[in-house]
Amino acid sequence: RSGFINLDKPSNPSSHEVVAWIRRILRVEKTGHSGTLDPKVTGCLIVCIERATRLVKSQQSAGKEYVGIVRLHNAIESEAQLARAIETLTGALFQRPPLIAAVKRQLRVRTIYESKLVEYDPERRLVIFWVSCEAGTYIRTLCVHLGLLLGVGGQMQELRRVRSGILGEKDNMVTMHDVLDAQWQYDNNKDDSYLRRVILPLEKLLTSHKRLVMKDSAVNAICYGAKIMLPGVLRYEDGIELNQEIVVITTKGEAICLAIALMTTAVISTCDHGIVAKIKRVIMERDTYPRKWGLGPKASKKKMMIQKGLLDKHGKPNESTPDSWKKEYVDYREASKKEAAAVPQAVSEVERASKRKRESESESDEAVTPPSPATPPPEELSKKEKKKKKKEKKAKEAAESGGEQIEVTSESSTKKKKKKKQKEVEESSE
């Protein structure tokens, strides 16, 4: 039941309505689509069903192709001028969503990969053009820009999406009537052949990706989120590059997950261990394949020792654990934790060593220059320093509280000095 439909969207309903109708017709729980089309726009809409909805995000970000009709507001000089204007509208373009768009009207950059003129009718001033562009491009805005370039103004009349990602109009496109008929055939005649033609397997969306074939024993572990390790890889495709999105499949060709490659093909062929890729999105349901982890000689021995009480219930050593097990068995989870903890410890040890060096250098300096008898012991020095700091603090507080008090105190001190001088003068005269 999980798969996708390459649907030819009809003209008036919105993409959301169409997807809701398909959910009701097929009586499924989950549906999603490959990118919104405006109500009046027709063409290729990939509707994902059940498990295939996990691929919706990758389909929404895929490139799109459109065929559109523009009506020019005035006549132009020649068709060559129009062809030149359409060709100039390629590369990275600034776009602001149109007024009728249901999104925030922010300026954004979208890439037009290719655009060309298909046909021009000078009598009715209608232009048919073809565009290959990035996901999220507004063709309505592109038509307005074309009108501005020509200096006559233009407006989009019709639009049809002819390709979405790797699927086009000729890749088994079906209508809403086909979906309804296929479900009716299955309900009344128990004939699923028509339904199989309408709903395609989700693996068809991933045919452009590079592949890794896994052993059957590793499949369920990956579904539970295990790392894609090299011993579990059975076959691999040529031309895998670092950080490339790849698809991990079974020996039957069923998609297990999408992953990001951490090794190139050359590295995979030369290595015998290591992480090949990190999981991006798991596609297969858990327990589709049998569980195969915990069946090896070490794991089975560990289970037996837990039953006998030689290990605790978590499989960790206790008082009755034999020494041979402690020496032989390596818990990789704890080892990775220790490695992570060892890094900051090493840094702290380096810092301690540098501190010791400084201390030893300072001690050697003290030994070279013996303390003079006049210098007081370090305890007294520290007391003096504390007193100095207190005085400085008080002075700062006084300065912050206001400069007026300081001025008053300075004036009073000058008056006292004058009085002292006068007394001295009087005494000398007597």
Q: What percent of the chain is modeled with pLDDT above 90?
A: 44
Higher confidence at residue 100 or residue 34?
34
Domains in the chain: how many in total? 3
State mean pLDDT over 116-145: 91
Residues contacting residue 257 through CB under 8 Å, at least 6 positions apart: 222, 223, 247, 248, 279, 280, 281, 282, 283, 284
In a domain, 84, yes or no: yes
Q: Is 251 helix (H, G, I), strand (E, B) or coil?
A: coil
pLDDT at residue 148, as a whole number: 92
Chosen domain end from 226, 256, 282: 282
What band does 368 get if pLDDT is binned at 50, 70 and 90?
Answer: very low
Measured CA to CA, the distance from residue 238 to residue 303 in angstroms comes to 41
Statement: residue 326 has pLDDT above 50 = yes
pLDDT in tens, 214-248: 999 999 999 999 889 998 999 999 999 999 999 99
Q: How buried is 110 (Cβ within 10 angstroms: 0-12 exposed, 13-18 middle, 19+ buried)?
A: middle
What band does 39 get if pLDDT is binned at 50, 70 and 90?
Answer: very high
pLDDT at residue 335, as a whole number: 60
What band does 70 get if pLDDT is binned at 50, 70 and 90?
Answer: very high
- 317 and 266 in a common domain: no
In a domain, 219, yes or no: yes
Q: Which domain holds residue 299?
A: 294-349
- 257 and 114 in a common domain: no
Higher confidence at residue 389 or residue 337?
389
- 124 and 85 in a common domain: yes
Statement: residue 99 has pLDDT above 80 = no
- 221 and 100 in a common domain: no
Measured CA to CA, the distance from residue 204 to residue 172 in angstroms comes to 11
- 225 and 150 in a common domain: no
Name the pTM for this structure: 0.68
- 118 and 93 in a common domain: yes
In a domain, 12, yes or no: yes
CATH number at residue 256: 2.30.130.10
- 256 and 130 in a common domain: no
Highest mean pLDDT, choosing among 74-83, 84-93, 177-186, 396-405? 177-186
In a domain, 242, yes or no: yes
Mean pLDDT (the chain) is 83
In a domain, 300, yes or no: yes
Tell me which residue of 349, 352, 330 sits closest to 341, measured CA to CA. Answer: 349
Statement: residue 342 has pLDDT above 90 = no
In a domain, 403, yes or no: no
pLDDT at residue 302, as a whole number: 87
In a domain, 65, yes or no: yes
Higher confidence at residue 373 or residue 277?
277
**Structure tokens belonging to residue 390:** 């207190």
Higher confidence at residue 378 or residue 71?
71
Q: What percent of the chain is modeled with pLDDT above 70?
A: 79
**Structure tokens belonging to residue 206:** 């991933």
pLDDT at residue 404, as a whole number: 45
Higher confidence at residue 408 or residue 263?
263
Catalytic sites, residue numbers: 38
pLDDT at residue 389, as a whole number: 77
pLDDT at residue 201, as a whole number: 93
Measured CA to CA, the distance from residue 305 to residue 321 in angstroms comes to 9
In a domain, 393, yes or no: no
pLDDT in tens, 135-170: 888 898 899 999 999 999 999 999 999 999 889 998
Q: How buried is 89 (Cβ within 10 angstroms: 0-12 exposed, 13-18 middle, 19+ buried)?
A: middle
What band does 366 get if pLDDT is binned at 50, 70 and 90?
Answer: very low
- 158 and 87 in a common domain: yes
CATH number at residue 98: 3.30.2350.10
pLDDT in tens, 19-29: 999 999 999 99
pLDDT at residue 300, as a whole number: 86
pLDDT at residue 373, as a whole number: 43
Q: Is 146 helix (H, G, I), strand (E, B) or coil?
A: helix
